[in-house]
Chains A and B, each alone.
Chain A
Amino acid sequence: MISAGIDIGSRSIEIAVLENGTILETRKSDTGFDPIGQAGKLLHDLKFDSIMATGYGRTLFEIEQDAPTVTEIKAHARGALYFFPEARTVLDIGGQDSKVISMDPSGKVSRFEMNDRCAAGTGKFLEIMATALGFSIDTLGDEAMEAEKDLIINSMCTVFAESEVTSLMARGENPREIAKGLHMAVVKRAASMLRRVSAEGPVVFTGGVANNPCIARLLAREIKREIWIPDNPEMNGAVGAALIAAENCTFH
């Protein structure tokens, strides 16, 4: 049977279509101002037997399409287990939120923590800082890895960090070093969330920010744990939702 998962985030929408545990297709677009319209466009020519929605737009989708939903917590736990069957801990840093999930050996969520109230420590934070530094978001991580010395950024709040960056630039600091300092700020935040929720073992790192090589490297160094990143880290929630859709189906 073919099942689909749709992850409607505040910044982007991802869709994954799976057949018997194999990913057939994935799709992605920006959420824009009309999440349901965008979701419809992405879905319109796809064929599947069942679908499950997750992400902050899941309830809207549930109403519009009469589809079942699952929280992004459970979806990410399930997705991580698909890519790494040994996984017990997930760190997801998306466009506008971050979360840490710890699960028991059966994949059941046992603890989680979520930050979705402010942009601090999320993809949005890095995007705004890239603009302030004059880098492209796609190369920000590579630039930061070129830094020669460590520079500490004190502000976690996006607004304050932006003005801290401006004053560091005015002082003539190297933008790459500032960039590295900003990455470190994101990593510290993620690390303290990780320590609270899960004490040890490898960490599956998902979400768009997992594509940033500098974050992954600094994080491994900071928490001294293995970091596992799936090929398409932003698809993790959608894949998890598709798997749950398949598992929930009674006719298989």
Chain B
Amino acid sequence: MKEELLKKLQQITEQNLLDIEAHKEKGNHAIGFYCLYAPTELAVAADAIPLPLCGTRQAPIEAAEEVLPRNLCPLIKSSYGFAATDTCPFFKFSDIIVADTTCDGKKKMFEIMNDIKPVHVLQLPQNQDTLISLPPWKAEIEKLITVLEKRTDRPITTEKIKNAISLMNRERRAKKRLMDVTKAKPSPLTGMELVEILFKTGFFADKEKGIDLMNEISDLCHKLIEGRESPYTDKTPRILMTGVPVGLGSDKVVKVIEQCGANVVAFENCSGYKQTFQVDETKDPIMALAEQYLSIPCSVMSPNQGRMDMLKEMITEFSVDGVVDLTWQACHTYNIESFHVSKLVQDTFGLPFLHLETDYSESDTEQLRVRIQAFLEMI
């Protein structure tokens, strides 16, 4: 049954490019996004499809290195490489790119990417103090509205933003519900399945289709849980993965962890649980968006207490046996933040902790394996 749903996911994925094309042929738009900070609601409010563009594959990295330094985060190189080689259909579809000044590598890369396609960069504050950071951030969002209105030639009315918020809230609720099925012990899904589902539904042109499918998968999972059907046993080590985003093509650590007999039950990262927030539908919509998006706990924020809070909640709720903190090579913010994460996991929770630094290539798989096995032996 699970196989059937995964097949359906694959079918929609294949159909998806045609859906986007059809949508665009009707005179509508597609807008590419990097990072979580820019509100995709605004694209939806302009009748456009928001497309997540963060690069998760090794293939275009070589080309990117002709322009970018080698010792740069693979996510940045992959993102740029896709654009430079024109090999990402979603980048191709995007009429405009919306990005933010998150980490140093990304924001400087966007300056170069702008030569390929217009990139509108939001100045993201590096601190979540509402008094100091919220007003300029809200102004950035207001500016984005004008930019998108101009590019799409659609008025972005308050009404449309409100509707978009409620749609995206529904999507995020469906996503959270799906990610929460792995709270069951043993979990009905493998970490690799979860990565695949989250990754593929992210590109769906039709949000409703995505929501329906995620709900269908969650329903099925709840049935599996009732019937105690799982690829695992009660004894399978349950791992929480935190740190940098992971998608298809950059999932090798998840793969190795699961090959070594454990189950990655939760992802505290921006491809996972960081996407589960809700935008307040009772407030002024622009203010609500500004507040909610500013509070996303990515390591580019200083301090970043929100991540510690999320970790505390998830470690307990998902009954995890150990935490793996993943850092992409040359990502300073996550690399340094690992110090506090290790303290939280080891000292407060007394759980085994493993910090891994790697890139998208397969060259260090065996070295990762020995660390992961030794980490699992600690459980």
Contacts and interface: CB of A to CB of B under 8 A. Distances in A.
Main secondary structure of the interface of B (DSSP, over half): helix
A170 to B, nearest CB: 31
Contacts of B378: 108-110
B66 interface: no
Interface in A110-166: 110-112, 114, 116-117
Interface size bucket, B side? 10 to 19
B377 interface: yes
Given A72-B374, A110-B352, A111-B353, 15 more contacts: A56-B370, A59-B369, A71-B373, A73-B374, A73-B377, A74-B374, A74-B377, A108-B378, A110-B378, A112-B374, A114-B367, A114-B371, A114-B374, A116-B367, A117-B364
Contact of B377 (A71, A111, A116, A117): A71
B346 interface: yes
A112 B342 CA distance: 12
Interface of A: 56, 59, 70-74, 108-112, 114, 116-117
Interface in B352-379: 352-353, 364, 366-367, 369-371, 373-374, 377-378
Interface string B337-357: 000000000100000110000
Contacts of B374: 71-74, 109, 112, 114
A56 B373 CA distance: 12
Nearest to B364: A117
B377 A114 contact: no
Instruction: Among B352, B369, B370, find the residue whose CB has the most chain A CB atoms closer than 10 A.
Output: B370
Contacts of B346: 111
A32 B322 CA distance: 37
Contacts of A59: 366, 369
Contacts of B369: 59
A71 B367 contact: no
B181 to A, nearest CB: 32
B277 to A, nearest CB: 33
15 contacts: A56-B370, A59-B366, A59-B369, A70-B377, A71-B373, A72-B370, A73-B377, A109-B378, A110-B352, A110-B378, A111-B353, A112-B374, A114-B370, A116-B367, A117-B364
Contacts of A56: 366, 370
Contacts of A111: 346, 353
A201 B213 CA distance: 56
A73 B371 CA distance: 8
A113 B187 CA distance: 30
Contacts of A117: 364, 367
Instruction: Among A56, A73, A74, find the residue whose CB has the most chain B CB atoms closer than 10 A.
Output: A73
A71 B364 contact: no
A150 to B, nearest CB: 32
A145 B32 CA distance: 63
Nearest to B371: A114
A138 to B, nearest CB: 29
B139 to A, nearest CB: 43
Nearest to B350: A110
A71 B364 CA distance: 16
A92 B134 CA distance: 51
A73 B352 CA distance: 14
A59 B378 CA distance: 19
B141 to A, nearest CB: 42
Interface string B57-82: 00000000000000000000000000
Given A56-B366, A117-B364, A109 B377 contact: yes
A71 B346 CA distance: 21
Contacts of A108: 378
B374 to A, nearest CB: 4
B59 to A, nearest CB: 23
Contacts of B367: 114, 116-117
A56 B365 CA distance: 12
Contacts of B371: 114
Interface string B177-203: 000000000000000000000000000
Contacts of A73: 370, 374, 377
Nearest to A108: B378
A1 to B, nearest CB: 23
B230 to A, nearest CB: 25
Nearest to A74: B377
A56 B370 CA distance: 8
A16 to B, nearest CB: 20
A242 B79 CA distance: 48
Interface string B17-36: 00000000000000000000
A111 B374 CA distance: 10
A159 B374 CA distance: 30
A36 to B, nearest CB: 16
A54 B373 CA distance: 12
Contacts of B370: 56, 71-73, 114, 116
A137 to B, nearest CB: 25
Nearest to B352: A110
Interface string B90-127: 00000000000000000000000000000000000000
A70 B373 CA distance: 8
A85 to B, nearest CB: 20
A72 B367 CA distance: 12
Interface in B151-165: none
Instruction: Among B369, B371, B374, find the residue whose CB has the most chain A CB atoms closer than 10 A.
Output: B374
A117 B370 CA distance: 12
